[in-house]
Structure 1
């Protein structure tokens, strides 16, 4: 069996993370055992996915849509204590070459509208309460924007993939099954690089690729523009060639086999970011590591961490550990994590103490396509808050996927 959080992420041709287009579509297609069974809704779902399957089989076009809302509140704050926002997304891929084989060539897209409901969006709450970090990073007030717009080519029976165009680096850098802000942890300390990687913005122009090196070892690498503007991605094309400011990464990893790359995985990621003159962001480099195992088809313990030498990152050193537990198969996922972090002195100045965070969430499928995730965080010693030693953050997230 497969755990609820990794259902659908088992195509041997995939290297992208759980938030990538292909894996999101596959995961949303998986049958669930929801809390509520509504015959009319189940029939409508069956008809809808039958039509989508037919379109994909006949034309090579796979697509998905979702709407996600997030609400967070803190017990104390330097400014706003509540944040809320939503996001509607259209995403998909169109196999234009090699259809019916494992070596497909596809156009991939993801278009979003990000908006806040109240005074601030969810991704602004951490700075409002004086915490060095970010909650629900994609949930901003950015409006209409692109995340993906690229070509994906698979080789060697799906054992190798290369992508080129406007990429989201979190799709291939230090990926982790519980890192998706739509379905997993809300605190970015449990996501890409545990806040120690100087990631460029989404829709960054570049190339990335991955390949299996035998049965167990794999290699991932990428080079993208350190400057990106997801609201107007083509405006930064010139800067890719003229500014020579790049984000590069190389990852070497081990997995039990390609199809279990998110179940049993250990990897080390090295990265480098050039200084960005227009944005006045220093260059830097660093490393991240991740160790994940899948035990008894229900438990997924993990240990992840990283360090940075400048680069304008949030943390200089950070380590996260915890687990995911498939509490009710195909219905409910429990996640728990602990993080220790040392704020980047070059970003925030000297003299700041270490930060600690605990997070607990429970994601449940109320219906097959509608999930609700209550979440609670305990933050100890928020480094930029001079008056509070500890803060609680309560959140809830709801996602409708079609």
Structure 2
């Protein structure tokens, strides 16, 4: 129990979910953008800004933000600066637990994109930034809840008690008429590593088993000094990847050890899609990664591969099959497979998601061979009004590997998001 709690804390600065390859699955809709931007995932700054300004088919049919949105749009038109802020709260109640049976976290974020060169062209240069405050709303923050349950995993990796932090601060340069992009600065590796349509922790699945790498990629630092690049080789095939500081700390982002320690996280992805506008819908890719041994963190060298398959069916359904394998590197799982489906009625309505994961906990990470686990997550996201979302959910964990008391645990969750 203590081991998993300490492990979750050690990952606090490593795994955070969400800009980068340009077409996206906005988690309220099966919606594709029309241009290429060769790196960004669905939880990225660019994707979030674009989804938040779309007209929403809300349950209450109320728009309280019309004047605010018009004011922001006028600033963007005059200066090239687009920005937003939001507050997200996520809480869970467990049916059984050897420790605490409730957890809750609140997250305040400010994020933006400032186009400074090439406005009106495909080859823009932009400064992107995001930061905020992550704080517990209960005795236990959601990210540490696995330690209370005896679950070898992370319930919600971005919902910590880290307090003030910086996630992104980097320059993005598009080139080749927008077919390629280079990022340089403080990056979040989950923006461009093994991204898919339902990966946003703020609006999609919450459990790491259904996010980047299905739990088999170690490290995943954010606010990490480095460089990343992506390029569409033609209309269907793309490549992308990056190299960043493996010891980045989002709570102290300018204490950079990269040049002293030389310990890095690297990734490379090769994929196929039916077209750039369907990048996160109809997508098949392989992601290879490697992380150096980290002396200060006490973690081993690691490497592995992840895969992802997703394809839209009948315009509304998005089935997916994802998984990975790892060796060392502080990854949670040495093997993991996730399958599920997303459903959206139309381009501006609610989103339903269902996923099932099988995982084999890493003996290198946990220090002992553990039994396999099964995790199920289901959620229903509703747009109550423009800018306000409510997402009830449930997670079911069969055979939590570090829990000797309970054969299974059910978690009942509720997520609230208000965006401006």
Q: TM-score, normalised by structure 2?
A: 0.92
Asked if the contact 1:114–1:139 (Cα under 8 Å) also holds between the matched residues in 2, the reply is yes
Corresponding residue for residue 231 of structure 1: 251
Structure 2 residue ranges without an equivalent (≥5): 1-24
User: Matches of 2:345 and 2:370 in 1, distance apart?
Assistant: 38
Tell me which of 129, 133, 149 is aligned to 1:129.
149
Question: Are the equivalent residues in 2 in contact too, given 1:300–1:324 (CA < 8 A)?
Answer: yes
- Alpha-carbon deviation of 1:11? 3.7
Q: Is the 8 A contact 1:212 1:219 kept in 2?
A: yes
Deviations 1:23-58 (A, max 9, x none): 0000111111111023xxx2x522222221121111
Q: Which one of the candidate residues 44, 48, 52 is aligned to 1:20?
A: 44
Contact 2:38 2:232 in 1 (8 A): no
In the TM superposition, residue 118 of structure 1 has moved relative to its aligned partner by: 1.2
1:361 is aligned to 2:361: no
Equivalence map 1:2-401=2 (5 Å): 4-7=28-31, 9-38=33-62, 42=63, 44-236=64-256, 239-327=257-345, 329-401=347-419
Say if 1:149 and 1:165, in contact at 8 Å, map to a contact too.
yes
Give 1:10 deviation, angstroms.
Answer: 4.8
Instruction: Give the paired residue count.
Output: 395
Distance in 2 of aligned mates of 1:5 and 1:199 = 30
TM-superposed deviation, 1:328: 5.7
Deviation at 1:13, TM superposition (A): 2.4
Deviations 1:111-136 (A, max 9, x none): 11101111011111112101111112
Deviation at 1:9, TM superposition (A): 4.8
1:7–1:30 CA contact under 8 A, matched in 2: no
State the distance in 1 between where 2:333 and 2:371 align. 12
Kindly provide the CA deviation profile for residues 292-344 of structure 1, in whole angstroms up to 9, marking residues without a partner as x: 10111100000000000111111000000000011465221110000000000
Superposed CA deviations along residues 138-173 of structure 1, whole A, max 9, x for unmatched, are: 111111100001100000111100001000000000
Deviations 1:327-372 (A, max 9, x none): 4652211100000000001111333111001111000101121010
Q: CA RMSD in A?
A: 1.3
Pair 185,9 (structure 1): closer, same or farther in 2 beyond 3 Å? farther
Q: Which structure 1 residue ranges, 5 or more long, are not aligned?
A: none
Rounded to whole Å, the distance in 2 between the matches of 1:17 and 1:10 is 15
Q: Supply the distance in 1 between the matched residues of 2:328 and 2:87 (Cα, whole angstroms).
A: 36
TM-score by length of 1: 0.96
Q: Distance in 2 between matches of 1:386 and 1:187?
A: 22
Q: Quote the offset at 1:6 in angstroms.
A: 4.6
Q: Is the 8 A contact 1:13 1:157 kept in 2?
A: no
Residue 18 of structure 1 contacts residue 177 of structure 1 at CA under 8 Å; is this kept in 2? Answer: yes
* Larger relative contact order (CA 8 Å, sep ≥ 6): 2
Q: Is the 8 A contact 1:364 1:371 kept in 2?
A: yes
Q: Measured at CA, do residues 58 and 201 of structure 1 come closer, stay the same or move farther in structure 2, by a change above 3 Å?
A: same
